[in-house]
Amino acid sequence: MPGRTVLGAGAQIALAHDYRIMRKDRGYFCLPEIDLGMPLHPGMTALIQARLPIQTAHEVIATGTRYSGERTLAQSIVDQVEDEANVVSSAVELAAGLAGKAAPVMSRLKAEMYPQVVEAMASRMTA
């Protein structure tokens, strides 16, 4: 997340990634659905609950708080914060360490780690 503000669906997509690296001095992470009067899909709620500490998940969903780079790290929303010059190289270095992993096995492991998310993603929203 190199210096961008990540809101709503973009924030949800970021949470679906294995690792998140954010620029420390620019950009925000925010789920503004509460302020927009928009409910989250049950799958997105399950993903947020699975990927964030419970109190952070509650705050992210219930308040629409905007988190800066340093605060996203403190709240365990991201795994690293970096200076602008290091965001991409840090991401590439992290990805290189994972590149040789067996993709089908990784997929299965993730499905087994997060069965509630897989089930909720398959569900439909009700009014």
Torsion, Cα 61 64 70 75, to 10 degrees, reads -20
The answer, yes or no, to whether residue 61 has pLDDT greater than 60, is yes
In a domain, 13, yes or no: yes
In a domain, 71, yes or no: yes
Query: Pick the residue with more confidence: 123 or 108?
Result: 108
In the chain, the number of structural domains is: 1
In this prediction, residue 123 carries a pLDDT of 86
In this prediction, residue 75 carries a pLDDT of 96
Domain containing 75 equals 6-122
CATH number at residue 36: 3.90.226.10
* Cα–Cα dist 4/83, whole Å: 13
Instruction: Give the tens place of pLDDT for each residue, 12-37.
Output: 899 999 999 999 998 899 999 999 99
In this prediction, residue 6 carries a pLDDT of 63
In a domain, 1, yes or no: no
In a domain, 50, yes or no: yes
In a domain, 29, yes or no: yes
Mean pLDDT for the chain overall? 91
Percent of the chain with pLDDT over 70: 93
In a domain, 51, yes or no: yes
